[in-house]
Amino acid sequence: MSDGRLLSDGEEEEQVGFATALQNLLWAEAKRRGGIPADEHPHSVNALRPDSPAARRLHLRHLEVAAECGKVAEQVMEDAAARAGRAGASYPEMGAAAGITRQAARNRWPQAVGTRWYLHTLTGRQHPHGAGTATTRSRDKAVATGWDAVRKGDAATGGAVAAVVCDSERRVVWACFFDPAEYDAVTIKVPDDLIDVPADGDEDHQAWTDQWAQFVDAEIERRTVRA
């Protein structure tokens, strides 16, 4: 299934090669079930006279094998989605991999993504900041941990100055930072372009962290002047 992305020549060649290998495998299995040795005629789906009884029987075997392949592929996809979910993948990522939408992936594999919450922290009072990530099974624990880290972190150069908590689809559900005007941690709404957080290791994650740091620095400066 296409995801709408233009493929390079190399990628198209790989897809054609994979499809050919799979077709050959299915045809070989159809022949095996029909009692025909792998090295004997017919060697391809077009090698029999179309209207012959032998062709009818063998092509029905081929259809049977192809139908089973679809069922096996569905099970393989379900297993792969579950393993990806345990590894921290989100429904948008699964949808992109399968060439379907995020909602379609959620509907197709509803148990793949478990309940997990991601806590991201910015550390250090000076830019550039350090960054940290933790994963919990409880939203309350993630928020409490972030809140405490920011409250305690202001006194130390390497302490936390801001925190965000994301749900299992890596969307921000809570954020705070150390407000110099209040001299305490306060909750804050992050801009819309920071709501979706790329996973650690993704090529876009560092760009998101840098943008988040710039937002926090600007807020600290604005509130420092106001104080």
Task: Assess whether 99 and 136 both reside in one domain.
Answer: no
pTM, rounded to two decimals: 0.56
Task: Assess whether 199 and 220 both reside in one domain.
Answer: yes
Task: Assess whether 136 and 56 both reside in one domain.
Answer: no
Residue 166 β-bridge partners: 118, 172
- For 29-39, what is each residue's pLDDT tens digit? 888 988 888 88
| Phi, psi for residue 5 in degrees, rounded to 5 | -90, 140
CA distance linking residue 152 with residue 167, whole number of Å: 24
- For 5-64, what is each residue's pLDDT tens digit? 556 667 788 888 888 888 888 888 888 988 888 888 887 777 777 778 888 888 888 899
The residue among 154 and 81 whose pLDDT is bigger is 81
CA triple 97-103-106, angle to 5 deg: 75
Has residue 2 been placed in a domain?
no
Has residue 61 been placed in a domain?
yes
Which among 185, 187, 190 has a CA at the least distance from the CA of 208? 190
Task: Assess whether 134 and 198 both reside in one domain.
Answer: yes
Has residue 1 been placed in a domain?
no
Q: How many CB atoms lie within 10 A of CB 12?
A: 11
Has residue 214 been placed in a domain?
yes
Task: Assess whether 133 and 203 both reside in one domain.
Answer: yes
Give the mean pLDDT of the chain. Answer: 86
Q: How many domains does the chain have?
A: 2
Q: What is the per-residue burial (b if ≥16 Cβ within 10 Å, else e) of 44-82?
A: eeeebeeeeeebeebeebbeebeeeeeeeeeeeeeebbe
Residue 194: band (very low, low, confident or very high) from pLDDT cuts 50, 70, 90: very high
Which among 69, 72, 65 has a CA at the least distance from the CA of 29? 65
* Alpha-carbon separation of residue 120 from 113, 200, 216, 217, 223 (angstroms): 19, 10, 13, 16, 22
**CB neighbours of 35 closer than 8 A, spacing ≥ 6?**
none
Last residue of a domain, one of 51, 76, 108: 108
CA distance linking residue 126 with residue 106, whole number of Å: 41
Q: What domain range includes position 71? A: 9-108
**What does DSSP assign to residue 65?**
H
